[in-house]
């Protein structure tokens, strides 16, 4: 299921020239149907949706489709509550393409004051 432009929108993206870190600022759609089910009256962003947002942002940058092959490590540190026009930043500290064509990726999802998730995955 594609979430981009429905569950979330990319507000801006860029690469920090000093660190080489790729970042995306995204805005969550608090009225999306997923939040009505997860959880009624107290919505939080499902972990699988967070991973999918990371995937879709990276696909936008690479301009190619990716298949999640392996989740090496995921730490959900805080819940993302989609209040109002909630914006979070998805940053990529590592994007390495191995000889077999797989992408080894490390990313963080945060805002100005809170880290929500740290994710390490492999895409094919």
CA–CA separation, 109 and 111 (whole Å): 7
Burial 90-117 (b: 16+ CB within 10 A, else e): bbbeebeeeeeebbebbbbbbeeeeebb
Let me know: does 22 contact 61? Beta carbons within 8 Å: yes
> Could you tell me the pTM of the whole model?
0.95
pLDDT digits (tens, 9 = 90+) for 42-77: 999 999 999 999 999 999 999 999 999 999 999 999
Mean pLDDT of 32-42: 93
């Amino acid at each position: 299921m594609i979430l981009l432009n429905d569950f979330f929108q990319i507000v801006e993206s860029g690469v920090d020239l000093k660190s080489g870190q790729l970042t995306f600022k995204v805005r969550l759609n608090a009225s999306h149907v997923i939040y009505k089910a997860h959880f009624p009256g107290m919505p939080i962003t499902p972990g699988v949706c967070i991973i999918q947002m990371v995937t879709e942002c990276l696909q936008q940058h690479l301009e190619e489709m990716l298949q999640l092959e392996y989740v090496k490590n995921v730490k959900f540190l805080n819940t993302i509550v989609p209040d109002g026009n909630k914006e979070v930043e998805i940053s990529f500290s590592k994007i390495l393409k191995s000889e077999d064509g797989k992408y080894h990726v490390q990313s963080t999802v945060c805002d100005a004051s809170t880290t929500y998730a740290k994710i390490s995955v492999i895409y094919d």
